[in-house]
Structure 1
Amino acid sequence: MFRKMGVYAVLAYVLYGLFFYWYLFYFANTKLPFEYQGTQADPATFLNGREIMLSEDYSKIKNLLFFLSTPFEWIFYFLILLFGFSKVFKKWAESSSKYRFLQIAIYLIWLSFFSFLATFPFNYISYSMSKRYHISTQTFPSWMKDELIGFWINYGTLLIIVPILYWLMKKSKKRWWLYSWLLSIPFTIFVMFLQPVVIDPLYNDFSPLKNKKLETEILAMANKAHIPANHVYEVDMAKKTNALNAYVTGIGSNARIVLWDTTLNRLSDKQILFIMAHEMCHYVEKHIYYGIAIYLVFSLLGLYLTYRIMNWTVTRWGKELKIPDVKDIRSVPLFFLVLSILTFAASPFTNLISRYEETRADKYAIQMTKDPESAISSFQILTRSGLSQVNPPLLVKIFRYDHPSMLDRISMLEEYEIKHRN
């Protein structure tokens, strides 16, 4: 029976992959609608023929990797259970230590290690493709260092979460999901508070903006918007990428507005001021805090569904998956599997909310700067630097885009420009 389950799972994954290959490379139409041709949103007006071809090719490959990598994670966890590797990891852990916490730590290092190996090909292909298309400038040793940092951060996080989670499962078979959610609230806020000052500096060097004239203009804009900001930070990303970015991160006193140095090198001061006004909107309209609230609502629903699905799965398929009880540490891959599927299923809704907030930020920025020319040109440069699709396929937009497409963003700015001019 378990062999059939494995074969069916792999076959389903292959069919799924073939569908998305056909959809992205043959079916999806990314051509601009007729009414937008010749406008400032038309790639033909700001990209040359080679850049348009490269952006289409790169986007197709990148999107295919996305749609293949997430279900591959599900297949990995399913096969780990089906072929008894989770049981083996537990056996190795129990033979290595008599202390429960150390047993969990050893179990998790084995699971994390094999997960890292299984997903490494996807990560490496993504890295090598970004190098081939001149998006990434990062050397392999530097990229590998970031991968290993990510591995240990992920392992450290699991080492905090999993022992508490399975302790709660033993203490309360029917309410562990609720207690886990309640504990996740302070943990989520604490991690977001630490992110800018502890986690982010592990990957890159941050420093106050060196261009003091620009910083003065940005802080004046922040003061106008009643934002208590004293610094704008820049981060050295040129050694890793040619892409551009700026963002708001952290909460409370650790909240930061961050500019990549690639953005500083490629955009004019007026364009940067538009980008900064966009980021300030996230602070003014409290998008970060709304984001936390939405995340907590989805995580509550997700943990409850995980509780129900895990119980049903173990009751029906526990023998085949080598899981005698939900609270047994061998069920960790099942927990990750269910949570990953639910997260993927929720992504259209979370992306929709994020796109709404980003549209709000674009409108706020253009109202503050009243400079549609700089705004449009900044989006055109962002498109060129990242080889982004101006008009992505529908499924890509639904599952991948937490920002509006460049077609939506530039056309909105053009409408403002026409209205403002009149």
Structure 2
Amino acid sequence: MSKKWSIAALLVYVVYAIGMYFYIFHGPSGGVPATLKGTVADPQTFMTERELLLSDDFSKIRNYLFFIITPFEWLVYILIMFTGLSRIFEKWADSRWKLIKNGAYLFLLYLFTTLIFYPIDLYRYHLSKEYGISTQEFSSWMKDFVIDFWVNFGTTLIVVLVLYWLIQKSTKKWWFHAWLLTIPFAIFMMYIQPVVIDPLYNEFYPLKDKELEAKILSLADQADIPSEHVFEVNMSEKTNALNAYVTGIGENSRIVLWDTTLNSLTDEEILFIMAHEMGHYVEKHIYIGIASYLISILVGLWLIAKLMPWIISRFGSVLKIDKVGDIRSLPLFFVLVSFLLFVSSPLSNYISRYQETRADEYAMELTGSAEAAVSTFQNLAKAGLSEVNPPWLVKIFRYTHPPMLERINTIARYTDTKKEKPEQEKDADDQTETESEKEKQTKPKTE
């Protein structure tokens, strides 16, 4: 029975992968609408012919990898259960101490899946190098890969040990208790991210350009954002892409600029990017994000708590799982988490794109420089070989930011609105003056 299910799962995945191949490489392309041909939003006006070709090829490959890797992850975990490999891991991890057993099982599972996905990660690294995005040496990439392994394993270990301890204590309410613990854990991770985790990968230091720092802090002061220092990070040894962000909470919050951004953009363009990040702060997006994250975790854990017992009761013999509290059920838990994240990504991405649009609009309000905004987006697209107008399916599943075509149009609409307002105000003033003159002419004279 398990063999038949394994073959069926493989066939379904192969059919899906072939279907996605034809959609990505031979399906409808986003392209540029006829009304925007030749405008500042048209990549042909700011990208060379070679950049356009590379952008098209690179985007299609990345999009295809995105759509086949996540289902491949589900397939790997399903086969681990179907083939009995999960039971073998449990046997190797056997210990009289439950925590040690669960921790050892997770390590074996995590190591195995890391090795399975290593060729894909390596291919993505070489792909990025081939298209000129990555500048990172292989030794540096391997160092980051190893750091990733231990950081992710460490955080996952904490989650799994607590999770299965809660399942043992309360088979019905474990999901709610796990959610309650998620709140302080998430806040703690956000607090230590800038000062503990990020420095493991890159070197952070105060912005060297003090004149630019003064401009950024002045902008932050206009937005009523408490900030004392701006940091730059050495990313040019790893990438040609551009980025800037605000990270952390409380006293560990900081504004961070990649050195590639500092080296490639003008001060006006950098200030626009900073104003965009400040827009997230002013619009309370970080708090909305935390609230959305906690709500989604609550709903997700509740769904998993309902689905796992049902799946095990129906297919437990095939999956070789006796009950939810068995550590052998962990691959099933990972599959459900990954699946729920994938199917909910269109909604979360939509919310994120809306927030990014609001941040762009705020940046325009704060800086008032449409030229800097347009040139910033054009440079970002060139540096990252971005697809300015992706196909619909790619957009809803992949894009947390609006495509560059939409972002440049946002600037254009903002500029048009600003131009219309003074004219409307002028027309209103003229109308008022005309009505005033009429009143004077019709007003009866008095002796």
Same fold (TM over 0.5): yes
Q: Give the Cα–Cα distance (whole angstroms) in 2 for the partners of residues 419 and 282 of structure 1.
A: 22
Asked if 1:107 is matched to 2:105, the reply is: yes
Match of 1:78 in 2: 78
How far does the alpha carbon of each residue in 1:349-383 deviate from its partner, in whole angstroms, 9 at most, with x for none? Answer: 11011001100000000111000001100100000
8 Å CA contact 1:282–1:288 kept in 2: the answer is yes
Q: Give the Cα–Cα distance (whole angstroms) in 1 for the partners of residues 419 and 175 of structure 2.
A: 56
Match of 2:40 in 1: 40
1:122-201 matched pairs, under 5 angstroms: 122-201=120-199
- Equivalent residue of 2:257, what SS? strand
1:242-391 matched pairs, under 5 angstroms: 242-391=240-389
Give the drift of 1:420. 3.6
Q: Give the Cα–Cα distance (whole angstroms) in 2 for the partners of residues 343 and 112 of structure 1.
A: 19
Identical columns (%): 55
Give the drift of 1:44. 0.6
How far does the alpha carbon of each residue in 1:40-62 deviate from its partner, in whole angstroms, 9 at most, with x for none? Answer: 00001001111111100000001
Q: Give the Cα–Cα distance (whole angstroms) in 1 for the partners of residues 392 and 378 of structure 2.
A: 21
Q: Which amino acid aligns with 2:40?
A: Q
Match of 1:405 in 2: 403
Give the drift of 1:419. 3.9
Q: Give the Cα–Cα distance (whole angstroms) in 1 for the partners of residues 377 and 176 of structure 2.
A: 43
How far does the alpha carbon of each residue in 1:65-85 deviate from its partner, in whole angstroms, 9 at most, with x for none? Answer: 111111111001101111111
8 Å CA contact 1:351–1:400 kept in 2: the answer is yes
Match of 1:414 in 2: 412
8 Å CA contact 2:164–2:325 kept in 1: the answer is yes
Match of 2:54 in 1: 54
Superposition RMSD in Å = 1.0
How far does the alpha carbon of each residue in 1:337-356 deviate from its partner, in whole angstroms, 9 at most, with x for none? Answer: 11100010110011011001
- Equivalent residue of 2:93, what SS? helix
Match of 2:69 in 1: 69
Give the drift of 1:251. 1.1
Give the drift of 1:8. 1.2
Structure 1 runs, 4 residues or longer, greater than 4 Å off: none
Q: Give the Cα–Cα distance (whole angstroms) in 1 for the partners of residues 324 and 408 of structure 2.
A: 50
Q: Give the Cα–Cα distance (whole angstroms) in 2 for the partners of residues 362 and 171 of structure 1.
A: 48
Q: Which amino acid aligns with 1:312?
A: W
Match of 1:211 in 2: 209
8 Å CA contact 1:69–1:119 kept in 2: the answer is no
Q: Which amino acid aligns with 1:211?
A: D
Q: Which amino acid aligns with 2:172?
A: K
Q: Give the Cα–Cα distance (whole angstroms) in 2 for the partners of residues 349 and 66 of structure 1.
A: 17
Q: Give the Cα–Cα distance (whole angstroms) in 2 for the partners of residues 289 and 203 of structure 1.
A: 26
Q: Give the Cα–Cα distance (whole angstroms) in 2 for the partners of residues 177 and 22 of structure 1.
A: 40
Q: Give the Cα–Cα distance (whole angstroms) in 1 for the partners of residues 349 and 170 of structure 2.
A: 34
Give the drift of 1:102. 1.7
8 Å CA contact 1:165–1:180 kept in 2: the answer is yes
Q: Which amino acid aligns with 1:165?
A: L
Match of 1:15 in 2: 15
- Equivalent residue of 1:248, what SS? strand
Give the drift of 1:421. 4.8
Match of 1:392 in 2: 390
How far does the alpha carbon of each residue in 1:387-422 deviate from its partner, in whole angstroms, 9 at most, with x for none? Answer: 000101111100000000000000111222344456
Give the drift of 1:99. 2.2
Structure with bigger gyration radius:
2
How far does the alpha carbon of each residue in 1:254-307 deviate from its partner, in whole angstroms, 9 at most, with x for none? Answer: 111111000000000000000000001111112111101100100111011111
Q: Give the Cα–Cα distance (whole angstroms) in 2 for the partners of residues 326 and 190 of structure 1.
A: 28
8 Å CA contact 1:40–1:411 kept in 2: the answer is no
Give the drift of 1:107. 0.8
Q: Which amino acid aligns with 1:309?
A: L
List runs of 5+ in structure 2 lacking aligned partners.
Answer: 421-447
Match of 2:444 in 1: none
- Equivalent residue of 2:232, what SS? strand
Give the drift of 1:163. 1.3
8 Å CA contact 2:30–2:392 kept in 1: the answer is no
